[in-house]
Structure 1
Amino acid sequence: MKCNNNKGLLNAITLCGTLLLGSCTKVPMEGSLAPDISYKNRKQYAISGLQQNIGNFQVSTSTLPLKFEIVEVRELTGKVTASLTENIPVVRFKEPIVGNETAAELLLKTDTVMTPAVSVNPFTGQLEILEGNKIPAGEYHFDIKVANNSGAKILKDALVIEFKELEVKSWSSGMLKQPEIERIGDAPNQIRFVGYLNNIPLSGDQIDFTKERSAGFKGTFINDTNDGEIWQVKFPVKESNTYCSWKITNPNGGAVSYLSENFNFVIGLPGNYVVRLYK
């Protein structure tokens, strides 16, 4: 009998302990937002005027799907950020493309929508930057709200994007030094190329861009002048492998030869530019 009483008492204690434990343990809610969510490579670079998608979001153990929203954008030197929300016309296809449509038929299958220059994809978290934006050079800090069915969190400085208005990407070793790009005005939309030979500026007819023009920047030749070769350009100028030839005249024999070098550059915002090339 004594053993039976002890066994009953043990069972009662076990039952009470189980009930007590159950009352103190929180049942987890469906879904969770991980504390370590972030963007991989938080600091990024972009060229003004060009189309780019930026941002690789790391969800960690968060429950999907996630939803993203830009809360605030700041430029550290105090530049106005209105150019990021400026609406840009974007052509969207509203019907499938077969491939043999005429220009008129393609027009009927498209629609033009006004879209902010910079927006966040609500499902992937990528920042989508549209071509034709007019974002000035600067460092822009984006606060982004991330949410799922369990709650929301604002990531301050989630992405930091440094915008440049132009950039020389590469240049061949035969050049004396890196090409230089200078913006000299808002209009007209053109580039004046100046070739330097041993640091002496040449007239426009002494440099040439005809070699492998299909691989170069897209523009319309205007004129050779005493201070360079002028091209009318539709901006932005996208990254392209551009060849330039220097016309060399042998003073002894009068023979003419061309020394060709290539360079790679981008210019995002419309304007009047000078590109200086050194040989």
Structure 2
Amino acid sequence: MTYNNRIFQFLTAVFGSTMLLTGACTKIPQEGSIAPDITYKNRKQYAISGLHLNIGDFQSSTSTLPLTFEIVEIREPGGKPVSALSDEIAVVRYKEALVGNESAEELALKSDTVMVPAVKINEFTGVLEILEGNKIPAGEYHFDIRVSNKSGTRLLTDALVVEFKEQDVLSWSSGMAKQPEIERVGDEPNQIRFVAYLDGQPLPGDYIDFTKDRAAGFKGTFVDDTDEGEIWSVNFPVKEADTYATWKIVTEVGGVEQVSYEAYNFNFVIGIPGSYVVRLYK
């Protein structure tokens, strides 16, 4: 055997060994496999009852696509019923394109109303779709989700944990004495009574007012100023919107009454219809 043949055989053997070692060290997922590390990014999420929200960023890792998703079970560790999550809500679906100047009659002809569960999962993306108008009680809900592809299925226990609040104060002006408070006082009427406090004492309703330009604030209809506060009729849910309230400040200087006005903003949301009191502190 010539010298060149010996070199060729040596290089061939080395190359073959390298390929075997590489194959032994690198795990190539089989076709149709579900990776062992599939999960949702940011498993714990937060939602406001009554408001629309999409939740869930699924991490498929090396799993073979496409994947399909199914809710297997929903639990509330505090013992609250979970039936409100499957209650059906009327949703308008358009079956024809809109041009923008349709009459009410034309919109009705172009649309259908379908009943959809308050919470459902997109079977192709794994995103939880929470519909506006739901009546989900405050609580922490745990979702067990089955993930499938052509190779089989895997059940993810507590795949998503969603904590619902029925209302929340998102921000408030530094000029306020403390965070505004929201209290549900009844199932009806659908209204909010705003109570202004100055140095811990409640003021009559005419001591607080909202800016005339309400495009950026909560949507409602003024009802009355009373000794117990300012009353607004509201179509729920109250969505996130920066709201300004103007305070009437009355002081006495040298026996003469002085009146001044100060404006403060706050941002709040309320999802479930009912009667509420919102307390603002100065």
Secondary structure of 2:163's counterpart equals: strand
Deviation beyond 3 Å, 4+ runs, structure 1:
252-255
Q: Whole-Å Cα distance in 2 between the matches of residues 159 and 144 of structure 1?
A: 8
Secondary structure of 2:260's counterpart equals: strand
Secondary structure of 2:241's counterpart equals: strand
Q: Which amino acid counterpart does residue 268 of structure 1 have in structure 2?
A: G
How far apart are 1:211 and its partner, in Å?
Answer: 4.4
Of 248-257 and 155-164, more deviation after overlay is shown by 248-257
Alignment map for 1:184-263 (pairs within 5 Å):
184-252=185-253, 253-263=256-266
Secondary structure of 1:248's counterpart equals: strand
Give the TM-score normalised by structure 2: 0.87
Alignment map for 1:140-219 (pairs within 5 Å):
140-219=141-220
Secondary structure of 1:77's counterpart equals: coil
Q: Whole-Å Cα distance in 2 between the matches of residues 200 and 250 of structure 1?
A: 14
Deviations 1:36-55 (A, max 9, x none): 11100000000000000000
Aligned residues: CA RMSD: 1.4
Q: Whole-Å Cα distance in 1 between the matches of residues 235 and 47 of structure 2?
A: 19
Instruction: Say whether the 8 Å CA contact 1:211–1:243 is kept in structure 2.
Output: no
Instruction: Say whether the 8 Å CA contact 1:29–1:150 is kept in structure 2.
Output: no
| 2:269 aligned residue | 266
Deviations 1:34-83 (A, max 9, x none): 11111000000000000000000000001111100000000001111000
Secondary structure of 1:106's counterpart equals: helix
- Structure 1 stretches lacking a partner, 5+ long: 1-27
| 2:132 aligned residue | 131
How far apart are 1:199 and its partner, in Å?
Answer: 1.3
Q: Whole-Å Cα distance in 2 between the matches of residues 227 and 78 of structure 1?
A: 37
| 1:85 aligned residue | 86
How far apart are 1:197 and its partner, in Å?
Answer: 1.1
Q: Whole-Å Cα distance in 2 between the matches of residues 90 and 267 of structure 1?
A: 21
Q: Whole-Å Cα distance in 2 between the matches of residues 257 and 104 of structure 1?
A: 51
Instruction: Say whether the 8 Å CA contact 1:72–1:143 is kept in structure 2.
Output: yes
How far apart are 1:263 and its partner, in Å?
Answer: 0.2
Instruction: Say whether the 8 Å CA contact 1:172–1:262 is kept in structure 2.
Output: yes
Matched, 1:97 2:98: yes
Q: Which amino acid counterpart does residue 89 of structure 1 have in structure 2?
A: A
Instruction: Say whether the 8 Å CA contact 1:196–1:202 is kept in structure 2.
Output: yes
Deviations 1:208-235 (A, max 9, x none): 0134422110001110000100011111
Calculate percent identity across the aligned residue pairs. 70
Q: Which amino acid counterpart does residue 84 of structure 1 have in structure 2?
A: L
Q: Which amino acid counterpart does residue 154 of structure 1 have in structure 2?
A: L
Secondary structure of 1:270's counterpart equals: coil
Q: Structure 1 residues 107, 166: closer, same or farther in 2, change over 3 A?
A: same
Q: Whole-Å Cα distance in 2 between the matches of residues 278 and 95 of structure 1?
A: 50
Q: Whole-Å Cα distance in 1 between the matches of residues 260 and 211 of structure 2?
A: 15
Q: Structure 1 residues 200, 29: closer, same or farther in 2, change over 3 A?
A: closer
Q: Which amino acid counterpart does residue 259 of structure 1 have in structure 2?
A: E
Q: Which amino acid counterpart does residue 108 of structure 1 have in structure 2?
A: L
Q: Whole-Å Cα distance in 2 between the matches of residues 267 and 130 of structure 1?
A: 15
Of 232-241 and 210-219, more deviation after overlay is shown by 210-219
- Structure 2 stretches lacking a partner, 5+ long: 1-28
Deviations 1:161-213 (A, max 9, x none): 00000100000100011001111111111110000111111000110013442
Secondary structure of 1:266's counterpart equals: strand
| 2:281 aligned residue | 278
| 1:31 aligned residue | 32
Aligned residue pairs total 253
Q: Which amino acid counterpart does residue 256 of structure 1 have in structure 2?
A: V
